[in-house]
Amino acid sequence: MKFALVSDQRIEATPDAKGACPGCGDPVIAKCGKQKIWHWAHKGTRTCDPWWEPETEWHRAWKANFPNEQQEVRHQDAETGEWHIADVKVASGLVLEFQHSAISTDEIQSREAFYKKMLWIVDATRLKKTVAKIEGAFRSGKGWQLNGVRAIVGGLKNIPLEFRESRHVVLFDCGVELPFYCLLPGRVLDAATLCCYDRKSVVECLRTGSHFIDDAQLQNQLSASITDIATKLNVPVEAGFEFIVQYYELKKVEQALLRRTGLHRFRRRR
Ligand SMILES: [Zn+2]
């Protein structure tokens, strides 16, 4: 943990310091070695929160985007008394869970049921293949565009298996060079929606306490635009969907051809 309680203050670990765990209240000792990030640990190896994972530079970099009081927040269910330490809880009550290590589908479901209002932020760089797969899915996937959001379909097989059925938005952090790729929980005509977002604006949005995406609204808009096209063409909705996909595929081909022939420069000048 980054913080422990020392005389009711949240304090970061310094050599030889002692404090209390903000979760269970037991004494914790400062671990300030050369190998791992300076942190607080319980005596012995046990951590009181079974969901807690050892922190990495990646966790700390993410946490540092938020005020201290929003980091490592004890979250308790008033009815059951169950508690866990949320990585970050922003002003609106939205919980951000930073996931670096492997996690089972069962644990994903448990955490989603417990936190209710939450967002996954997954370190996709842990496994090299994951980044390539997600990026590849996004680049090559058939899809369409709405309000600047490119949504791809049929790319789910490239998404890490354990997160495919997530009931909340999953943001894949593919490293500072790449934008965030987000898997939305709902489906549009049985198709998964994978969106792409600028890193800075997502972090800024979360810092101000709000969610960066209204996924239900976005997917409703996508549905509506498909239905609209289907109605205009007087074809079944599925055909409208196919039409949009084909339309953007054609546009991609057109852009690629223009680039190859150099005609896009001519077009711009006009
Ligand atoms: Zn504890």
pLDDT digits (tens, 9 = 90+) for 28-40: 999 999 988 999 9
Task: Please give the distance, rounded to the nearest whole angstrom, from the Cα atom of residue 42 to the centre of ligand 1.
Answer: 7
- The total number of residues shown for the chain amounts to 270
Task: Please give the distance, rounded to the nearest whole angstrom, from the Cα atom of residue 223 to the centre of ligand 1.
Answer: 46
Task: Please give the distance, rounded to the nearest whole angstrom, from the Cα atom of residue 53 to the centre of ligand 1.
Answer: 13
Task: Please give the distance, rounded to the nearest whole angstrom, from the Cα atom of residue 81 to the centre of ligand 1.
Answer: 15
CA distance 185 to 182: 10
Looking at the fold, whether 128 and 5 belong to one and the same domain comes out as no
pLDDT score at 147: 63
pLDDT at 145 over 80: no
CA distance 85 to 66: 16
Looking at the fold, whether 8 and 61 belong to one and the same domain comes out as no
pLDDT score at 118: 96
Alpha helix segments (H runs only) across the chain: 57-63, 105-115, 128-140, 199-207, 215-233, 237-261, 263-269
Task: Please give the distance, rounded to the nearest whole angstrom, from the Cα atom of residue 100 to the centre of ligand 1.
Answer: 21
Find the mean pLDDT for residues 47-66: 92
CA distance 78 to 94: 17
Of 117-121, 177-181, 206-210, give the lowest mean pLDDT range.
206-210
Task: Please give the distance, rounded to the nearest whole angstrom, from the Cα atom of residue 7 to the centre of ligand 1.
Answer: 16
Of 205-214, 224-233, 237-246, give the lowest mean pLDDT range.
237-246
Task: Please give the distance, rounded to the nearest whole angstrom, from the Cα atom of residue 23 to the centre of ligand 1.
Answer: 5
The residue ranking higher by pLDDT, 194 or 94, is 94
**Based on the structure, what is the number of domains in the chain?**
2
CA distance 262 to 270: 14
The greatest distance separating any two alpha carbons of the chain, rounded to the nearest whole angstrom, comes to 74
Quote the mean pLDDT of the chain.
87
Task: Please give the distance, rounded to the nearest whole angstrom, from the Cα atom of residue 85 to the centre of ligand 1.
Answer: 9
The residue ranking higher by pLDDT, 156 or 206, is 206
* pTM for this entry: 0.85
Q: How far apart are the first and last CA of the chain?
A: 59
Looking at the fold, whether 64 and 186 belong to one and the same domain comes out as yes
Task: Please give the distance, rounded to the nearest whole angstrom, from the Cα atom of residue 136 to the centre of ligand 1.
Answer: 41
| Domain of 184, in residue numbers | 52-269
Task: Please give the distance, rounded to the nearest whole angstrom, from the Cα atom of residue 163 to the centre of ligand 1.
Answer: 28
Alpha helix segments (H runs only) across 154-214: 199-207
Looking at the fold, whether 136 and 236 belong to one and the same domain comes out as yes
Looking at the fold, whether 14 and 109 belong to one and the same domain comes out as no
Task: Please give the distance, rounded to the nearest whole angstrom, from the Cα atom of residue 5 to the centre of ligand 1.
Answer: 11
Looking at the fold, whether 199 and 104 belong to one and the same domain comes out as yes
CA distance 219 to 251: 22
Q: In terms of Cα–Cα distance, which of 189, 198, 183 is closest to 220?
A: 189
Looking at the fold, whether 92 and 156 belong to one and the same domain comes out as yes
Looking at the fold, whether 173 and 71 belong to one and the same domain comes out as yes
Task: Please give the distance, rounded to the nearest whole angstrom, from the Cα atom of residue 21 to the centre of ligand 1.
Answer: 5
CA distance 38 to 32: 5
Looking at the fold, whether 56 and 44 belong to one and the same domain comes out as no
pLDDT score at 44: 77
Looking at the fold, whether 116 and 151 belong to one and the same domain comes out as yes
Confidence of residue 241 (pLDDT cuts 50, 70, 90): confident
The residue ranking higher by pLDDT, 270 or 247, is 247
Task: Please give the distance, rounded to the nearest whole angstrom, from the Cα atom of residue 50 to the centre of ligand 1.
Answer: 10
CA distance 174 to 193: 18
pLDDT at 3 over 90: yes
Answer whether 204's CB lies under 8 Å from 175's CB. Answer: no
Task: Please give the distance, rounded to the nearest whole angstrom, from the Cα atom of residue 202 to the centre of ligand 1.
Answer: 31
Looking at the fold, whether 58 and 168 belong to one and the same domain comes out as yes
Looking at the fold, whether 158 and 37 belong to one and the same domain comes out as no
The residue ranking higher by pLDDT, 88 or 136, is 88
Task: Please give the distance, rounded to the nearest whole angstrom, from the Cα atom of residue 172 to the centre of ligand 1.
Answer: 29
- Tens-digit pLDDT profile for residues 150-172: 776 655 788 899 999 999 999 99
